[in-house]
Amino acid sequence: MPHQDHDARVGSFLSQFGQTSETTEFFSPHPEGYVPGRTSYVAVLGTVMSGLGKGIFSSSLAKLLKDKGLAVAPVKLEGYLNVDSGTLNPYRHGEVFVLDDGTECDMDLGTYERMLDQNLSVQNFTTAGQIYTEVLDRERRGGYLGRDVQMIPHVTGEVKRRLRQLAMTGGPDGGPADLVFIEVGGTVGDYENGFYIEALRELAFEEGQGRACFVALTYVLDPPTLGEQKSKAAQLGIKRLMESGIQPHIIACRAERPVEETVREKVSMFSNVPLQRVISMHDRDSIYTIPEAMRAQGLDREILTILNCHSRVNTVHEDTHRGNWKSFAEKLTGPRQHDVNIGILGKYTALRDAYASIDKAIEHASTHLSIKPNLQWIDTTEISDPGKELSELNLHAVIVPGGFGERGVDGKIHGVQWVRENKIPFLGICLGFQMAVIEYARHVAGFTEANSTEFLADAAQPVISELPDQKLIEDLGGTMRLGGQDVAITPGSLASFLYDESTSVRERFRHRFEVDPSFIEKLEQAGLIFSGRHPEQPIMQFLELPRSVHPYFVAAQYHPELTSRPLTPQPMFMGLLAAAILRSNPSLTREDVSTRWIPEPSANTAVPPTQSSSATPSPCG
């Protein structure tokens, strides 16, 4: 069928689907201006079990196609009823990743941003709670013209509407996308994601042949006692997908070691998928080596063939981006010059996914600085004698990450005191920033009862608090400051050096409590430097100590780890690890390490405190 005839047929089909009356059962709303055939869809679904790395797989695949010059737009479809991820416990679902627009979402969105080097938005993340809320609100407004509202077609119709809206506006600068990559959370057969799978089946049918590609990510068992790989679980999982009306085009087999040829043959035969489209996705040292492994197996070419997109490839664009990524991957897997011990003092350390972005930010910076990082995950709820317990670890750098609640706070404060007094390179993040302020206030500035109103509502010296004036400033009410915010940087400071002499940077926030402005002047007089602030209000966002006092002591109220990318590592992590190299080997000089990330010895020896006109007298006199 000629291309234009196909588009006309689909357009007529969608026009009928947009109707809702007694004369038709078709209902599939699509955004005004949507052009059928303009965008193709790639859906990634999991079988056998969760936790296979669908986000890593999908983002790696999307990167391959983006490198070819295609505009890609990823979306994560979550089955839980939460409207977003903001209230989820890290132990249940890993870290909460925050997008620039303030969306609190699944950690897989961080994987997409890092892999694609692309800022995402609220339209790249959907939960069942969002879908049901929208459908019920529309029903209350009379949007269904008296129809009885059902899972099919109305809930599935809302899913398709959102996917088509993303196709129209999810590309670069809000333009159309060539490819939409859809990751369905959970596993095929779960009750909560069944309507997503049905919606994708309908979408593929409505868009027409060659407009959708289904990828099944499955798991091949490898019991040590048997000594051979078993594919039966994978076969049954794929069968469950086919029973849903979806014939996969590609099957990716997860396994600990390369999937054997006979196993791939069994899976191919059972699923009606050609052998060259049944690929091995075995464990690797880093997720950043996966795109090239996919390319080596020809997965990108198979996708282009299935979706008839070969003519859209920009080979010059691909060569450039592939070369840049290959250079990073070679550094990633190559030998390292420096061994560095990094302590992470948190209260969710039993689950690495709770600090996934910090882990990746360290990986990015370590690769560029040729460091072999030895991460020590330290539970601050178990620290009783930091002077002894931390000293035994021979740490060369310490990170105190964010968090909420009082649990583990004392351990963090003691840890900050230890790194400050022993001149260990230090990076505090969000709550870590607040702990650094409290510690300095107690042990240097003389505010012995300094605390945060988050932990002690009637604190005698609330150096950290949620201020009414700040609520009015940001229109916060009872909610957090979320998403991208501008930070004004003091010229001549260490912050300015790290950010390449910039006077303003944009970083992502997720917090409620601030440094109380009434304490700022006293803290600065005691030697603490607030070198990053809100552009207009007395809200402190970056602190440091002079290099004459400490080799590297910085903290940020924002989350710098959220903006770190493989090819552009975050400056605060680069500075921390560069300082850690010198700590690990005192015989080295700054010239031996990196002149870019270690300032001259004379730099930042003192930064005059900036008096805040809005500051009021300290309650302590």
Q: Six-digit token pair at 204?
A: 């593929």
Nearest to 369 by CA among 344, 402, 334, 395: 334
Catalytic residue among 430, 466, 511, 514: 430
265: annotated active-site residue: no
Residue 61, H or E segment:
helix 54-67
For strand 72-78 and strand 179-184, is the pairing parallel, antiparallel, or unpaired? parallel
Q: Six-digit token pair at 101?
A: 């627009």
State the helix-helix crossing angle for 108-116 and 54-67, rounded to 10 degrees.
20
Is 72 in contact with 178 (CB distance < 8 Å)?
yes
Is 29 in contact with 161 (CB distance < 8 Å)?
yes
Nearest to 435 by CA among 553, 604, 578: 553
Backbone phi and psi for residue 125, each to the nearest 5 degrees, phi listed first: -145, 125
Nearest to 235 by CA among 201, 194, 272, 275: 272
Q: Six-digit token pair at 296?
A: 């080596």
What's the CA gap between 67 and 318, in Å, rounded?
Answer: 5
What's the CA gap between 204 and 97, in Å, rounded?
Answer: 30
Compute CA 336 distance to the chain's CA centroid, rounded to the nearest angstrom. 26
Catalytic residue among 318, 454, 524, 561: 561
What's the CA gap between 240 and 48, in Å, rounded?
Answer: 10
202: annotated active-site residue: no
Nearest to 556 by CA among 436, 421, 473: 436
Is 467 in contact with 520 (CB distance < 8 Å)?
no
- Cα-based torsion angle of the residue sequence 224, 227, 228, 231 in order, rounded to the nearest 10 degrees: -30
Compute CA 438 distance to the chain's CA centroid, rounded to the nearest angstrom. 29
User: What are the C-alpha distances in Å from 10 to residues 7, 128, 211, 385?
Assistant: 5, 28, 11, 69
What's the CA gap between 232 and 223, in Å, rounded?
Answer: 13
430: annotated active-site residue: yes
Is 348 in contact with 403 (CB distance < 8 Å)?
yes
Is 162 in contact with 135 (CB distance < 8 Å)?
no
What's the CA gap between 378 and 415, in Å, rounded?
Answer: 10
Q: Which stretches of 258-383 are assigned E, i.e. beta strand?
A: 278-282, 338-346, 371-379
Contacts of 613 (CB under 8 A, 6+ apart): none
What's the CA gap between 428 and 439, in Å, rounded?
Answer: 12
What's the CA gap between 196 and 325, in Å, rounded?
Answer: 33
Please tell me the total number of residues recorded for the chain in this structure.
621
Is 64 in contact with 300 (CB distance < 8 Å)?
yes
Nearest to 163 by CA among 36, 69, 306, 280: 36
What's the CA gap between 391 and 532, in Å, rounded?
Answer: 31
Residues labelled as active-site residues? 430, 559, 561
